[in-house]
Structure 1
Amino acid sequence: MTSTAAPPTEADRAPEAPTAPEAPTAPGSAAAPSGARPGDRHARRFGLPVAICLVMGNVIGGGIFLLPASVAPFGTVSLVAFGVLTAGAIALALVFGRLAERHPQTGGPYVYVRAAFGDFAGFLAAYSYWITTWVSNAALAVAAVGYLGVLFPAVGAHRWSMCLAALAVQWLPALANLAGTRYVGAVQLVATVLKLAPLLLVAVGGLFFFDPANLGPFQATGQSPVGAVSASAAILLFSYLGVESAAVSAGEVRDPARNVGRATILGTAGAAVVYLLGTLSVFGLVAHEKLVSSQAPFSDAVDAMFGGTWGGTAVACAAVISMVGALNGWTLLSAQTPYAAARDGLFPKVFETKRRGVPVVGVLVTAVLASALTVYNYTAGSAGVFETLVLVTTFTATVPYLLSTAAQLYFLASGQGERVRRGRLVRDAVLAALAFAFSMWLVAGSGYAAVYQGVLFLFAGVLLYALMAARKQRSAARSAG
């Protein structure tokens, strides 16, 4: 069971006495998560398989169904970009695994950054991550409606039917979250299995129908190899967002010091295999000139494998399941970070409320904000505004990554290597440096407009920090008096 000790002080964050981690639950135990009533059958800690599914389900959202067509104009050199990004994502996953061993607490990046750099940096990590989750939830729901329209044409007949469908897609995962971690884990496990079945059918089965003649040129744009890799990487950069999922929910994972790192690495590696093999198979199944203009590359791939025109329906089902699973996981993460920050007095205290192992207020606030953004999107028809907000999240999502990798470098450079062998210390330092460089690449790949607008969006939260820090100071003064 997680600790209910008081928030760490400045002395607790000093190198000599880092923040005390929550006491890990013994492997295989059935202890309830922090904030849950003992014996609550609706609250259950995630085992390793569910934690892996949480990572894979959040990394693999709906974008994979369009990725092959998105990068096809660059040629097969885009597979090289995928390989480079996979290496960076694995390095980031390994760093999160090491950080989770040090601080196996709910909150992930927020916990690591606050322990290294104090309250303000921790707040920025929490606030930026929170923004990312609820705006992304709205974007996922809107994207899911497009696939629902393929299955049920009436959904896409009018903007209000589309809006209601998007709201339903958001609130069903939210209700699963409110029911307790037991149901969150069950939905995530089922959704991940159902989404992977058709993806693996194409990724693995497609290799048996692979035709090298369909690959097209290695470089299709006339750019230099480095330029082509960078250009295609800019599209693929955010395919791996979500590698931190198990770390953010560490307090709900059994034996987090051990399982969070394993889930992060295995989940990221599993997503990478699906991405790489899926893209390669589609490249070999669909002729390059057709793939460049394809609106449903996986549908075209299924049709090429088995004939007929049923591929579109099959892929639409897989896409809806994939997005609902991603929404289920992201809704949980959207509540976990504010919960951790609220325990430390850096978010409103109401976010600390937990029922059945889930921060219920965080779930409700996220669902309401995402729903409001969705309704605004369909009411005003402001696609430009909505797309701008989604673009901003591509920057805000990378802020916790950058700060977390910097925190790991700080821990290592300040002598907090925890008496490990020199070889491991060097390895951890190299991995942290690679992950930091990868995070910087993510920021650069966001584009000038996203970085500019994202910084404004991020700094708007400074007012909230000022108010919360003042309240925390007053509370400390009253306690001292």
Structure 2
Amino acid sequence: MSVSKSKMNVWQLTILTAVNMIGSGIILLPSKLAEVGTISLYSWLVTAGGSLALAYAFARCGTLSRKPGGMGGYAEYAFGKAGNFMANYTYGVSLVIANVAIAITAVGYGMVLFNTSLTPLQTCLWTIILLIVTTAANFGGARITGRIGAVTVWGVIGPVVAVAILGWFWFSGTTWTEAWNPRNLDFLPAVGSSISITLWAFLGLESACANADAAENPERDVPIAVLGGTIGAAIIYIVSTNVIAGIIPNAQLAQSNAPFGLVFSTMFSPLVGQIVTTAMVIACIGSLLGWQFTVAQVFKSSADVGYFLPIFKMATKSGTPIVGMLVLLVAQIALSLMTISPQLSSQFQKIVDFAVVTNLVPYVMSMAALITIQKIARVPAGPALVTNIIAMIATAYSFYALYSSGEQALMLGGLCVFAGWTLFGFVSARFYQAEVDAGVKNPGLSLQE
């Protein structure tokens, strides 16, 4: 049933929001969290709280904003056209980076599926091959690849939900307790060390507001669905990763490149584990197929309205931005080469930290803009104050997540931001001229003078 022809009630919208949030980002997390220990439960709770604050604030932005462009439109209220550009630019960059992380995840599960080990260089090469193949598969358009991704995502959702429900029959409190803090870290460093990896699972929560037009009562239903979907996803994340930590000994789990395949092998049989591993490899590839086109489309849409360089709006007769896809592919290949690490999990961590940092830039800008958005929308002082307090909590969490991402990710993220300001210099003139033509600035002044 098409949402454009039939409105969704709040329950349907909540389920859709949760399903959209649960994707390939979760399937390597049990192994990464095992490196920290089950003390990462506190990281989940902190991130769930921060994500709820972000989700509510984004729901308010989506309800009150009258500007198109998602987070770019929100940021424009406070930061003008430059803010719109920077929000879209950093969000687009974060998606490019995230695709590399998805490809690495697929390679990790593929290693287990085919019972092989790869050198760091081989891991990088297979990651690059997967990025190239999924990009090329979209040259004819995303009609088929998009449908593939919509089906294969259940190869992730099914096993994750199954572990959260059925895994308790194999759960050992002793195994979970023994995994509490294997590196004997102090409390705050232990919690902080897994903040970025837990936030990685929630990235994309802002997109839940995109279904507002399909809601029966957007003013009421969207905030409920966004919060309900985020809570639902948080419960599934927390339960599934901690159940696995109570089934698989910590040392073994931390070394696994396919933790969900491993737990199903332990719970049932190696054959079931192989089936789950296969499903997750297919799910990652299906997700990557869709995202490779989507990311190029994000850059094309911004180029169409003048925010990105014209090269990104070049498209075939069918509307496929092949040139833009190739440019982004080159960036992904460079990133894969830059982050080669002795272990696949280390490379995955570097990519995730970088993706989180760049994604948090538009988050922080949107939170700041919410103050102005509410004033323009004439929201009464009382409700506006409540929303602003929640937005500031979300901002505080965002800064904590930035800090916890580490020096290297912050440095690379900072370089991306500075590069963005440089790129804006190539397109900013057209916005100035548009303001001149509209009479916003001195009508007697033009760029030709």
1:470 — aligned with what? 429
1:367 — aligned with what? 325
In the TM superposition, what are the counterparts of 1:387-398 in structure 2 within 5 Å?
Answer: 391-398=353-360
Q: CA RMSD in A?
A: 4.1
Structure 1 position 29 matched with structure 2 position 5? yes
Give me the whole-angstrom Cα distance separating, in 2, the residues matched to 1:130 and 1:458. Answer: 12
In the TM superposition, what are the counterparts of 1:64-83 in structure 2 within 5 Å?
Answer: 64-83=26-45
Q: Report the alpha carbon displacement of residue 332 of structure 1 after superposing the two structures with TM.
A: 5.8
Q: Report the alpha carbon displacement of residue 460 of structure 1 after superposing the two structures with TM.
A: 1.3
Q: Report the alpha carbon displacement of residue 143 of structure 1 after superposing the two structures with TM.
A: 3.2
Give me the whole-angstrom Cα distance separating, in 2, the residues matched to 1:51 and 1:348. Answer: 37
Q: Report the alpha carbon displacement of residue 402 of structure 1 after superposing the two structures with TM.
A: 0.8
Q: Report the alpha carbon displacement of residue 213 of structure 1 after superposing the two structures with TM.
A: 1.9
Give me the whole-angstrom Cα distance separating, in 2, the residues matched to 1:383 and 1:183. Answer: 29
Give me the whole-angstrom Cα distance separating, in 1, the residues matched to 2:369 and 2:361. Answer: 12
- TM-score normalised over the length of structure 1: 0.74
Structure 1 position 279 matched with structure 2 position 241? yes
1:60 — aligned with what? 23
1:195 — aligned with what? 156
Task: Spell out, residue by residue over 1:381-424, the C-alpha distance to the aligned partner (whole angstroms, 9 max, x if none).
Answer: 9726x886765333211101111111113434xx34644582x3
1:453 — aligned with what? 412
In the TM superposition, what are the counterparts of 1:176-195 in structure 2 within 5 Å?
Answer: 178-180=141-143, 184=146, 186-195=147-156
Q: Report the alpha carbon displacement of residue 120 of structure 1 after superposing the two structures with TM.
A: 1.2
Q: Percent identity?
A: 26
Call closer, same or farther: CA 1:305–1:143 in 2, change over 3 Å.
closer
SS at match of 1:204: helix
Q: Report the alpha carbon displacement of residue 334 of structure 1 after superposing the two structures with TM.
A: 2.4
Give me the whole-angstrom Cα distance separating, in 2, the residues matched to 1:71 and 1:430. Answer: 31
Counterpart among 342, 345, 366 of residue 306 in structure 2: 345
- Structure 2 counterpart of 1:368, which letter? L
Q: Report the alpha carbon displacement of residue 88 of structure 1 after superposing the two structures with TM.
A: 0.9
Task: Spell out, residue by residue over 1:361-393, the C-alpha distance to the aligned partner (whole angstroms, 9 max, x if none).
Answer: 3xx455323432455578x69726x88676533
Call closer, same or farther: CA 1:102–1:354 in 2, change over 3 Å.
farther
Give me the whole-angstrom Cα distance separating, in 2, the residues matched to 1:376 and 1:226. Answer: 34
- Structure 2 counterpart of 1:322, which letter? A
Give me the whole-angstrom Cα distance separating, in 2, the residues matched to 1:291 and 1:169. Answer: 29
Indicate the structure whose relative CO is greater, using CA pairs within 8 Å and at least 6 residues apart.
2
**Aligned pairs, how many?**
427
Q: Report the alpha carbon displacement of residue 478 of structure 1 after superposing the two structures with TM.
A: 6.5
Give me the whole-angstrom Cα distance separating, in 1, the residues matched to 2:333 and 2:397. Answer: 35
Give me the whole-angstrom Cα distance separating, in 2, the residues matched to 1:73 and 1:153. Answer: 23
Task: Spell out, residue by residue over 1:203-241, the C-alpha distance to the aligned partner (whole angstroms, 9 max, x if none).
Answer: 111012222121134444434433432233354332322
After superposing the two structures, state which structure 1 stretch, 120-129 or 280-289, moved more.
280-289
Give me the whole-angstrom Cα distance separating, in 2, the residues matched to 1:257 and 1:365. Answer: 41
Equivalent pair of 1:141/1:167 in contact (CA under 8 Å): no
Equivalent pair of 1:105/1:250 in contact (CA under 8 Å): no
Give me the whole-angstrom Cα distance separating, in 1, the residues matched to 2:339 and 2:371. Answer: 42
Equivalent pair of 2:309/2:427 in contact (CA under 8 Å): yes
Q: Report the alpha carbon displacement of residue 27 of structure 1 after superposing the two structures with TM.
A: 7.3
Structure 1 position 383 matched with structure 2 position 383? no
Counterpart among 246, 255, 259 of residue 297 in structure 1: 259
1:111 — aligned with what? 73
Q: Report the alpha carbon displacement of residue 354 of structure 1 after superposing the two structures with TM.
A: 9.2
- Structure 1 counterpart of 2:24, which letter? G
Call closer, same or farther: CA 1:48–1:111 in 2, change over 3 Å.
farther
Q: Report the alpha carbon displacement of residue 279 of structure 1 after superposing the two structures with TM.
A: 0.9
After superposing the two structures, state which structure 1 stretch, 314-323 or 456-465, moved more.
314-323
Give me the whole-angstrom Cα distance separating, in 2, the residues matched to 1:111 and 1:394. Answer: 21
Call closer, same or farther: CA 1:295–1:271 in 2, change over 3 Å.
same
Equivalent pair of 1:245/1:333 in contact (CA under 8 Å): no
- Structure 2 counterpart of 1:168, which letter? V
Give me the whole-angstrom Cα distance separating, in 2, the residues matched to 1:53 and 1:475. Answer: 39
1:213 — aligned with what? 174
Equivalent pair of 1:191/1:321 in contact (CA under 8 Å): yes
Give me the whole-angstrom Cα distance separating, in 2, the residues matched to 1:51 and 1:288. Answer: 34
- TM-score normalised over the length of structure 2: 0.79
In the TM superposition, what are the counterparts of 1:44-443 in structure 2 within 5 Å?
Answer: 56-57=19-20, 60-62=23-25, 64-103=26-65, 107-151=69-113, 163-172=128-137, 174=138, 178-180=141-143, 184=146, 186-217=147-178, 218-247=180-209, 249=210, 254=214, 258=218, 261=223, 264-306=226-268, 308-327=269-288, 330-331=291-292, 333-335=294-296, 337-338=298-299, 341-342=302-303, 344-348=305-309, 360-361=320-321, 364-365=322-323, 367-375=325-333, 383=340, 391-412=353-374, 415-416=375-376, 418-420=378-380, 422=382, 424-443=383-402
Q: Report the alpha carbon displacement of residue 152 of structure 1 after superposing the two structures with TM.
A: 5.4
Equivalent pair of 2:44/2:198 in contact (CA under 8 Å): yes
Call closer, same or farther: CA 1:401–1:391 in 2, change over 3 Å.
same
Give me the whole-angstrom Cα distance separating, in 1, the residues matched to 2:300 and 2:14. Answer: 19
Unaligned 5+ runs, structure 2: 342-346
Equivalent pair of 2:314/2:324 in contact (CA under 8 Å): no
Equivalent pair of 1:110/1:337 in contact (CA under 8 Å): no
Q: Report the alpha carbon displacement of residue 59 of structure 1 after superposing the two structures with TM.
A: 5.2
Give me the whole-angstrom Cα distance separating, in 1, the residues matched to 2:328 and 2:115. Answer: 24
Q: Report the alpha carbon displacement of residue 320 of structure 1 after superposing the two structures with TM.
A: 2.0
Give me the whole-angstrom Cα distance separating, in 2, the residues matched to 1:474 and 1:409. Answer: 28
Call closer, same or farther: CA 1:243–1:256 in 2, change over 3 Å.
farther
Q: Report the alpha carbon displacement of residue 442 of structure 1 after superposing the two structures with TM.
A: 1.9
Q: Report the alpha carbon displacement of residue 266 of structure 1 after superposing the two structures with TM.
A: 4.3
Q: Report the alpha carbon displacement of residue 66 of structure 1 after superposing the two structures with TM.
A: 2.7
Give me the whole-angstrom Cα distance separating, in 2, the residues matched to 1:400 and 1:183. Answer: 28
Equivalent pair of 2:154/2:283 in contact (CA under 8 Å): no
Q: Report the alpha carbon displacement of residue 457 of structure 1 after superposing the two structures with TM.
A: 1.9
Equivalent pair of 1:211/1:284 in contact (CA under 8 Å): yes
